[in-house]
Amino acid sequence: MNSPVKVAVIGSGNIGTDLMIKVMRLSDRLEMAALVGIDPGSDGLARARRLKVPATSDGVDGLIAMPHFEEIEIVFDATSAKAHLANNAALQPHGKRLIDLTPAAIGPFVVPPVNLDEHLDAPNVNMVTCGGQATIPVVAAVSRVTPVAYGEIVASIASRSAGPGTRANIDEFTETTSHAIETVGGAARGKAIIVLNPAEPPLIMRDTVFCLTGDVDPRAVRESVEAMVGEVAQYVPGYRLKQQVQFTAIGDDEPVHTLLPAGAERPTTKISVFLEVEGAAHYLPAYAGNLDIMTSAALRVAERLSERSLVGAA
DSSP 89-155: HHHGGGT-EEEE-STT--S-B--HHHHGGGGTT-SEEE---HHHHHHHHHHHHHHTTS-EEEEEEEE
Pairing of strands 97-100, 72-77: parallel
Based on the residue annotation, tell me whether 130 is a catalytic residue of this protein. Answer: yes
Catalytic residue chosen out of the listed positions 21, 130, 162, 229: 130
Decide: 76 and 19 in contact? Cβ < 8 Å: yes
Largest CA distance in the chain: 67
What single DSSP character describes residue 41? T
Q: CA-CA distance, 21 to 271, in Å (whole number)?
A: 37
| 91, HSE (Cβ side, Cα atoms, 13 Å) | 29
Q: List, as one string, the DSSP characters of 216-279.
A: --HHHHHHHHHHHHHHHHTT-TTEEESS--EEEEPPTT--GGGGSPTTPPPP-EEEEEEEEE--
* Centroid of chain to Cα 311: 26
Rg (CA), the chain: 20
Distances (CA, A) of 233 to 32, 127, 154, 214: 24, 17, 20, 29
Q: List the catalytic residues.
A: 130
